[in-house]
């Protein structure tokens, strides 16, 4: 492999910036002044950064690539907004796919509907059952045919971990929340192994185009109508088509308890010896989301009462976590509400820091719980794109949460001030996978121009601006922070590390912070091989 000398811009390093980086045999050989590296490797092929910035490849610490790839091949609603736009696209998709027995896909936004709730009758123009997953993946919109196919009536009870939305007379209205999604989702046509493999490779291509060279798949297992992704990852890692560095977070079945741990250990063992994939984490979803009142909160919601759902019994959660910790598993928590965050922190008390446990999302954290992250060596896994004024925030979250709780949302700066280790991710396809857009939000706490939320009236108003991060802090979270979380050798530009790199078309540190979003990835390398 030819030596490569990246020059003509700056390189992002833990100490600051360097002039140049030398890559040899797929690894970083040297970082420093260009003149020194030219003397070290006079025949290296120059790669002109053209004034841009060289960074380590990004690692997304919470993402769902196979699900995203499958949705990209189905009825994809995330690029449009509003009932008219949704039904037009759905009708076109149905016309173009007359062979499909179901209309499936997703990406609709709760804020497009009064109270966040579409209705089954709005899909009853279709001649087939429909199952469309909400953008956040915590609800599904179905039509009457789908409800009939599943046998769901006004007499059908809610599952323990979900809710069937109902009309005033008790009839199902067409929205299934959380665990209720499976009542219909598991009836939809199953993707074939070839479909799953194609979805993974499509997602990998997309992520490479954004400079992402590694990730943690936040649900590897069967959830919300999706099939287990583990066989897909094992096959792709074995045949070499998976080039990114991936950790799979094995799904904790919340209908079971400790009896599933032996099976999780066996699933982890099935990936041993693979170069690109390890199944060393377990994902525990402790609550839902605030918009449908399933996020676990301490004080009741303002408009509906109730305090949400703790999906795993808090009295037993600590025991499960201790057993996983003893077996060397990393625990990856989903926690949105302040009670779920507290339950996760309580469960992680006394665990082994070497296992690199983390809590994702962290929408609401009480001030007394903020310092506990650093004290317990728990990483805060941030999804920065959500920390803005957008329709779901202003029309569904803030009115339901009330004050002061609304001011406890996404307390990134407070976490940093207490010495918390940060990682970062996107939750794609829930939101854009683009790390640059997420960094823009982390720094500005406003919507990036051109985002699907950017037209909202208050999108340019900073959301709790005191919780903004510096660009260096969030870029570090997306590189060395998330790579550390995955126990990956990449993530830092220093000699001996794999040459997993992203080339940016400009240096965002030289821009006005409000222009960070204009930065684009022009090239991506994995082990010194250009993959984008």
- Would you say residue 244 lies in a domain? yes
- Percent of the chain past pLDDT 90, that is, above it, reads 90
Report if residue 422 sits inside a domain: yes
Identify the bridge partners of residue 250 per DSSP, sorted by sequence position: 220, 282
Query: How high is the pLDDT of residue 304?
Result: 76
Closest to 151 measured CA to CA, from 118, 185, 183: 183
pTM of the predicted model, to two decimals?
0.93
- The alpha carbon dihedral of 177, 179, 183, 188 has a sign of positive
DSSP states along 394-455: IIIIHHHH-TTGGGGBS-HHHHHHTT--EEE---TTSS---HHHHHHHHHH-SPPTTSTTTT
Does residue 133 lie within any of the structural domains? no
Does 170 fall in a domain?
no
Task: Give residues with Cβ within 8 angstroms of 88, minimum separation 6.
Answer: none
Residue 75 lies in a domain: no
CA distances from 441 to 2, 352, 393 (A): 38, 32, 14
Q: Is residue 223 part of a domain?
A: yes
Helix locations, 215-354, DSSP H: 230-239, 261-270, 314-326, 338-348
Residue 491 confidence (pLDDT): 98
According to DSSP, the residues that pair with 130 across neighbouring strands are 103
Averaged pLDDT for residues 33-39:
97
- Determine the structural domain holding residue 353 and report its residue range: 193-518
Residue range 169-182: mean pLDDT, rounded: 94
Specify if 123 maps to a domain. Answer: no
- CATH number, domain at 363? 3.20.20.140
Total domain count, the chain? 1
Please give the pLDDT value at position 203.
98
Of 174-178, 350-354, 465-469, 500-504, the range with the lowest mean pLDDT is 174-178
Residue 137 lies in a domain: no
Cis bond before residue 404 (omega within 30° of 0): yes
Give tens-digit pLDDT for 211-261: 999 999 999 999 877 899 999 999 999 999 999 999 999 999 999 999 999
Q: Which residues sit opposite 27 in a β-bridge? A: 24, 498
| Residue 48: count of CB within 10 angstroms of its CB | 12
Other CB atoms within 10 Å distance of the CB of residue 285: 24
pLDDT of residue 235: 98
């Amino acid at each position: 492999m030819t030596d490569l000398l990246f020059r003509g811009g700056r390189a992002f390093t833990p100490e600051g910036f360097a002039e140049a980086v030398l890559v040899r045999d797929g690894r970083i050989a040297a970082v420093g002044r260009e003149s020194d590296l030219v003397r070290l490797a006079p025949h290296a092929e120059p790669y002109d950064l053209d004034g841009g910035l060289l960074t380590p490849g990004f690692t997304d610490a919470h993402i769902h690539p196979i699900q995203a790839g499958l949705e990209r091949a189905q009825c994809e609603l995330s690029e449009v907004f509003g009932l008219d736009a949704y039904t037009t696209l759905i009708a076109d998709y149905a016309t173009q796919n007359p062979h499909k027995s179901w209309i499936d896909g997703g990406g609709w936004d709760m804020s497009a509907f009064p109270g966040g709730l579409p209705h089954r009758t709005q899909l009853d123009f279709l001649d087939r059952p429909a199952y469309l997953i909400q953008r956040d993946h915590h609800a599904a919109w179905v039509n009457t045919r789908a409800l009939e196919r599943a046998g769901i009536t006004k007499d059908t009870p809610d599952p323990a971990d979900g809710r069937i939305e109902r009309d005033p007379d008790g009839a199902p209205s067409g929205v299934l929340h959380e665990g209720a999604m499976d009542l219909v989702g598991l009836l939809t046509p199953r993707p074939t192994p070839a479909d799953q493999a194609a979805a993974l490779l499509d997602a990998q291509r997309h992520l490479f185009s954004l400079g992402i060279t590694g990730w943690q798949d936040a649900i590897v297992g069967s959830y919300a109508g999706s099939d287990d992704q583990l066989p897909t990852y094992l096959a792709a890692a074995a045949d070499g088509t998976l080039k990114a560095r991936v950790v799979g977070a094995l799904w904790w079945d919340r209908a079971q308890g400790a009896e599933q741990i032996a099976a999780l250990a066996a699933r982890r063992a099935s990936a041993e010896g693979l170069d690109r994939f390890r199944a060393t984490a377990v994902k525990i979803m402790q609550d839902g989301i605030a918009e449908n009142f399933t996020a676990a909160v301490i004080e009741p919601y303002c408009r509906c009462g109730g305090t949400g759902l703790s999906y795993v019994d808090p009295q037993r959660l600590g025991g499960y976590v201790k057993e996983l910790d003893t077996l060397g598993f990393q625990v990856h928590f989903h926690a949105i509400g302040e009670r779920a965050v507290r339950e996760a922190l309580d469960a992680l008390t006394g665990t082994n820091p070497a296992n690199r446990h983390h809590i994702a999302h962290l929408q609401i954290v009480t001030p007394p719980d903020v310092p506990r992250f650093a004290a317990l060596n728990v990483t805060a896994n941030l999804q920065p794109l959500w920390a803005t004024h957008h329709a779901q925030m202003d029309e569904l979250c803030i009115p339901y949460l009330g004050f002061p709780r609304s001011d406890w949302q996404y307390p990134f700066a407070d976490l940093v001030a207490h010495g918390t280790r940060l990682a970062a991710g996107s939750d794609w396809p829930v939101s854009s996978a683009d790390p640059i857009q997420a960094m823009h939000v982390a720094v500005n706490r406003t919507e990036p121009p051109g985002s699907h939320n950017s037209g909202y009236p208050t999108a340019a108003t900073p959301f709790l601006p005191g919780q903004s991060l510096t660009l260096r802090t969030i870029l570090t979270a997306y590189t060395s922070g998330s790579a550390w979380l995955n126990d990956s050798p990449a993530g830092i530009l220093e000699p001996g590390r794999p040459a997993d790199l992203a080339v940016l078309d400009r240096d965002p540190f030289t821009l006005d912070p409000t222009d960070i979003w204009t930065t684009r990835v022009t090239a991506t390398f994995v082990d010194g091989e250009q993959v984008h």
